[in-house]
Amino acid sequence: MNTTAQATSEQLIINVSNDKEIVKLIAKKLNHYTVEQFVSDAQRYIKAIREGRMINSIGSVSASGMSRTIKFMSCERYKDESNHNYCQYWAFFTALGHSEARSKNGYFSISGCGMDMIFHTNYSIIHKLKSLGFITDDECRTLAQRTPTTI
């Protein structure tokens, strides 16, 4: 994959379709979600991180501090509306292998301690999207450092 230019939507669909893990998770856990929707969500995620519109909510932290539930959302303004809406990334996170929290409501369980887990989650997602050809190496270095705002 060329690291100096972004791939076309068709190439991104091919790249994601070749990722057996994502395809398996979409087929197994997401009945009405497609590779095309994954590509669209990935592009929306990247744009929200780039523009600083990504926020997250920490639903709970375990008593041991070893896990927490989080939800990522972006504030979106659609072309045909004057209002802003919050878009969740539930299906996108599921396709990337994250486990839904028991409480559901769009939250995912994230394990780990001793670091900023919001930073780590975004960092991991951005690097995965780089490996799929969504962004260049330079963009990856920049976007991976942009921790979403916690509300």
- The first and second tokens of residue 124, run together, are 């991991």
> What three-state secondary structure class fits 75?
strand
Q: Provide the whole-model pTM.
A: 0.88
Question: What is the pLDDT at residue 116?
Answer: 86
Q: What is the pLDDT of residues 40-92, one digit of tens each?
A: 999 999 999 999 999 999 999 889 888 899 999 998 887 776 787 888 999 99
Rounded average pLDDT over 103-118: 84
Question: What is the pLDDT at residue 76?
Answer: 86
Strand partners, 85: 76
